[in-house]
Amino acid sequence: MPKKFDTNPLDPDFPEKVKETETVILPTSNQKNGQTRKFADVIDTEQQTRKFNEAEFNSYNSTFGKEGNYPTNYQTTNLYDKNVETDNSRKVANVGLPENILVALPYLPFYIGMIAGILELVFVPKSEAKVRFHAAQGLAAHLGILIVTTILGFAGIATDLAGVASSIFSFVTFIMLCIFAFKAWQGKPIHIESVESLTNWLEETIKPQK
């Protein structure tokens, strides 16, 4: 049945059909005691929610939680597992020594680390970024310690206080280098912020031998 507000330009008889279907006359200002038509009651077509009886509920409750009736819990993967050891013992190209040994050598005290850092930067290829970083950082740490020790040594000639400070500084740096070497051997990250710029400069300046 056409509706009053439909507009169909393809049907020339549409206006006449609408007039034939209009049976309600709304009262105007000239008509008195006009009655408005009551809309028909809406028929509720939605079915009511069915209530489970006790037998059905007990049947469902008896199977809930058993195998196959609920999804398996999703197990997340730990991004870092302390029990999983990384392969730090692999051989490094052009050197033939394990990686964990090479990253620890540059931090050894008594200038052993300084010599090891220079040799590693010369012979370890660019592809071994981890080894070259520790070599440059260990070498930078030794250079920084050498500069401070030299300054305190000259100052110690003039005053005994500087000599005492030089001895304390040497002891502290000895312990620090031993800790760094042990952590590097374990594969733990080491970052010496005070020599960061020197580390980057050494790594870029000392090119590996081909």
Per-residue pLDDT of 102-139, as tens digits, reads 999 999 998 899 999 999 999 999 999 999 999 999 99
| Structural domain contains residue 134 | yes
Query: What's the CA gap between 93 and 95, in Å, rounded?
Result: 5
| Structural domain contains residue 44 | no
Give pTM, 2 decimals: 0.56
| Structural domain contains residue 67 | no
CA nearest to 208, candidates 95, 101, 112, 88? 95
Structural domain of residue 121, as residue ranges? Answer: 99-205
Query: What's the CA gap between 197 and 192, in Å, rounded?
Result: 10
| Structural domain contains residue 190 | yes
Per-residue pLDDT of 60-88, as tens digits, reads 666 555 555 555 554 544 433 433 345 67
| Structural domain contains residue 46 | no
Query: What's the CA gap between 137 and 203, in Å, rounded?
Result: 8
